[in-house]
Amino acid sequence: MATAYCMKCKKKVEIRNPRQVTLKNGRPATQGVCPVCGTKVFRIGKT
């Protein structure tokens, strides 16, 4: 499972509902939701 840093919880969490997105410059990223607080979390790079 992919992990990302949650700015609200201030810790690394597993990404819930991860989806692959592509940034404007073509880099891959993963976007999802924090399972603890429900905030959007984002991870740049392939995971």
Confidence (pTM): 0.82
Confidence at residue 35, expressed as pLDDT on a 0 to 100 scale = 95
Say if CB 6 and CB 34 are below 8 A apart. Answer: yes
- Looking up tokens 């990404």, which residue turns up? 15
- Number of compact structural domains in the chain: 1
pLDDT for 46: 76
Please list the helix, strand and coil fractions of the chain in percent, rounded to the nearest 5, in that order: 0, 55, 45
In this structure, what token pair is assigned to residue 32? 């999802």
- Each residue's pLDDT tens digit, 1-47: 789 999 999 999 999 999 999 999 999 999 999 999 999 999 998 76
State which amino acid sits at residue 14. Answer: E
Q: Whole domain around residue 22: which residue ranges?
A: 3-44
**pLDDT given at position 1:** 76
Confidence (pLDDT) at 47: 62
Using DSSP's 3-state secondary structure scheme, residue 23 falls into coil
Euclidean distance between the first and the last CA atom of the chain, given in angstroms as a whole number: 8
